[in-house]
Amino acid sequence: MKSFKKVYDAMIGMGVVVLLFTVSTPPQSLAVCTEEQLKNWPTPMYQGEELKKVREWENTWVGKKINFTNIDQVKEFLSEQFYQVFKNPQEWGTDDLWFTIVPYQQILPTPGQIAATKKYALTARFDPNPRKAYWKDEIGPNEFLVGWDKGEIAGFPFPFPQSGLEIAWNLESVTRGDSKSCDRDGVVVNPRTRAERRAVQPWLFEYYTGRVDIEPIPKKPKNPKGIRRAYYLGIEEPLDVQGTRYMEIRYLDVTKPEDVWIWFPNFRRIRRMGVTYKSDTIDGSDVRPDDECGYNSHVNVKNWKILGRKEMLLCRHGDPSKLTKIKGQAVWNGYELERTNVYVLEAKFKDPTGTYSKQILYMDPEMWRCLQMLCWDRQGRIWRQAFFGQQLVKSKQGIEQPHNFEFYSMDIQRRHGGPSLDIVREIGLNIPLSYWTIQNLQKLGY
């Protein structure tokens, strides 16, 4: 009996310890920021001694033209793939590729983004329960952002991220003015033959939830379909596909695949495409709909991991009017790059048959936008590289915010690229729900 009582007492003691540990240890799904941290947010990526060192470096480099003759001196601030392109301009259709260096400047979130972050970030957490989803591997515990599927959260959920998944949700939370229309004008270039195929594509998008800049905030009240984001793109050039219309609707319900509809003018018919169409390139370019702005699909399709921080030269305050090229040149000259302390974010599809075996996204910690992306094929070979140049623009409501004026994607293996520009027509549109219907898509086609 005495020995039994000793065992019993030991078991009770262990149970109490486990209980105390469980109560005192916060689960992964709790928020990781405090009110004190948010008082001083947003914070610049460089402060104090770090900023002083950057300014000293800038005294030497700001205003300098960097090309193959001196690029080795700033190689430590470039990805190997970017470096190789500018080091070997003849492979990309020109005798010289160059960029200039500009001073680092902090980019502030919009007033609406700041207000929403301070309101919602303190309670941002992951759902400890798994969820069903339309894709193969579904959503595991502590992966899905609570409230996202109801439109009950806005702003950056994790202004002080501790994991790659939290950074991915910050990227997903960028609404780019809530609604925007642009004209995408560019070419697909084969530098070996110097052949160019022009592409002119007006497009617009609108977010129905997570809105921070344009009323209604944080979501549209009339949303019976449960739309997260809607996207439209038309093709005016090249002439052989002129008049083609593309519409994509992403839903809050993760068990419901995105709707993708295309109007084909030759047949005067609308065809519904499978969601896998978003993984294919558009009109012979190197651009996939899912690659827009670094990633344009559900966060939980991939696994995310922070690989560290890296000082890089990237385009944050660019002027698209300064970009130049000659015929047959597959990369812009005239980028304005500034010192940036980015997060190096690794993304891998949960499904091994995904388009890429691995991606690296260089994430700006002030905007939570991707500024450069690298992609590897299924055999583990570097395949694509994309640049996302940013400029500051004002909406018609007078709100200044970053605009992704460029989505440049190159195929490193086949050696061709697509320099293009996204010129803003309007930010902050009021688009009726009836616009995002197949009836309207057909009407636009006619």
Quote the pLDDT of residue 4.
Answer: 40
C-beta of residue 77 within 8 angstroms of C-beta of residue 339? yes
Distance, CA of 197 to CA of 175 (rounded, Å): 31
Residue 210 is assigned to a structural domain of this protein = no
Please give the DSSP secondary-structure letter assigned to residue 209. B
Measured CA to CA in angstroms, residue 230 lies from 144, 171, 247, 284 at distances of 21, 17, 8, 23
Provide the domain count of the chain.
1
Query: Encoding tokens for residue 417?
Result: 């690229």
415: CATH? 2.50.20
In a domain, 240, yes or no: no
Contact criterion met (CB below 8 Å) for 178 and 211: yes
Residue 261: inside a domain, yes or no? no
pLDDT tens by residue, the chain, 446 residues: 444 444 345 444 444 333 333 333 334 444 578 999 999 999 999 999 999 999 999 999 999 999 999 999 999 999 999 999 999 999 999 999 999 999 999 999 999 999 999 999 999 999 999 999 999 888 999 999 999 999 999 999 999 999 999 999 999 999 999 999 999 999 999 999 999 999 899 999 999 999 999 999 999 999 999 999 999 999 898 888 889 999 999 999 999 999 999 999 888 899 988 777 776 666 656 677 778 888 989 999 999 999 999 999 999 999 999 999 999 999 999 999 999 999 999 999 999 888 899 999 999 999 999 999 999 999 999 999 999 999 999 998 899 999 999 888 899 999 999 999 999 999 999 899 999 999 999 988 87
Q: Is residue 13 part of a domain?
A: no
pLDDT at 11: 44
DSSP class of residue 117? H
pLDDT at 445: 81
Print burial letters for 143-164: b (CB count within 10 Å at least 16), e (below 16). Answer: bbbbbbbebebbbbbbbbbebb
* Secondary structure class of 351 (helix, strand, coil): coil
What integer pLDDT is reported at residue 307 of this predicted model? 98
Give domain status of residue 47, yes or no: no
Residue 168: closest CA among 177, 158, 176, 178: 158
Q: What angle do CA 165, 211, 154 make, to 5 degrees?
A: 40
In 108-254, which ranges are continuous DSSP H helix?
Answer: 111-120, 164-172
Question: Greatest CA separation found in the chain?
Answer: 93
Q: Is residue 337 part of a domain?
A: yes
CB-based contact 87:94 (threshold 8 Å): no
N residues, the chain: 446
Q: Which domain holds residue 368?
A: 52-108+167-203+285-428
Question: Which position has the token pair 């759902």?
Answer: 127
Q: How far apart are CA 58 and CA 77, in angstroms?
A: 13
Q: Is residue 173 assigned to a domain?
A: yes
Q: Do the domain assignments include residue 252? A: no
